[in-house]
Amino acid sequence: DYKGQKLAEQIFQGIILVSAIIGFICGYITEQFGWTVYIVMTGVALSCLLTLPPWPMYRRNPLKWLPVQESGTEDKKPADRKPKRHAKS
């Protein structure tokens, strides 16, 4: 559902943003770029774990699909149809 997709996107972006800020601050204080990378990658892994599986919190508002309708277009072959003619300009 669309509300679940919006929630997953917000959670994903929030975790990435917070982990990037924390990683930058920790890396700046310790003067180690590796810490920044590790913290950001941990945030990416955590956000993927929380948003990629179809958790029930993302499926609270299911979409209502239209019922299947039978149509007669399946019986016609492409050769039976008249070709469309375009108006000359």
Predicted local distance difference test score (pLDDT) of residue 87: 67
Predicted local distance difference test score (pLDDT) of residue 58: 85
Cβ atoms < 10 Å from Cβ of 19: 20
Which stretches of the chain drop beneath a pLDDT of 70?
Answer: 72-84, 86-89
For residue 12, CA distances in Å to 39, 43, 52, 63 come to 15, 9, 9, 22
Model-wide pTM > 0.75: no
Predicted local distance difference test score (pLDDT) of residue 61: 87
Cβ atoms < 10 Å from Cβ of 23: 20
